Amino acid sequence: MSCMIILMYELEGTVKLIEDTQTFGSGFQKREFVVTSEEKFPQDVKFECTKDKIELLEKVRTGDRVKVSFNIRGNEYKGKYYVNLQAWRIENGGGEVDSNLAQVTGESGDGNLDDLEESPF
């Protein structure tokens, strides 16, 4: 008998950087962004959006205060291990979700593990 525990992670902070969309030979796409956390000792945390979640970043600008909901994903590639923080919802600083974004994210926030097999990272 196996048991799967699903944890939801969130981080609030200010968007520091939004990278351009990257497209790999397989057609897999991702877009990375950095959020500076709101702590005594702020941290710059890099997230990624993949596939249809890339649309989440269309309404976000550098300097925006956001709350990011994300999953932690890990994988091995050519003997090296990687951890990615995959964003599945981005809310503005007031905690309100843009109605268009709510439709894109869906309710579950489940990431697709098959995405990792397509990505070199």
pLDDT tens-place string over residues 27-52: 999 999 999 999 999 999 999 999 99
- 58 Rama class: left (phi>0) / alpha (psi -120 to 50) / beta: alpha
The partner residues of 49 in beta bridges, in order of sequence, read 31
Please compute the mean of the pLDDT values over residues 56-81 and round it to a whole number: 95
Identify the band that residue 8 occupies on the pLDDT scale cut at 50, 70 and 90. confident
Look at 109 and 82; give whichever has higher pLDDT. 82
Q: How far apart are CA 102 and CA 117, in angstroms?
A: 27
Burial class from Cβ neighbours inside 10 Å (0-12, 13-18, 19+) for residue 2 reads exposed
Query: Which pLDDT value is given to residue 119?
Result: 52
Its pTM surpasses 0.75: no
Share above pLDDT 90 across residues of the chain, in percent, rounded to a whole number: 66
Q: Give phi and psi for 62, each to the nearest 5.
A: -55, 135
Look at 52 and 111; give whichever has higher pLDDT. 52
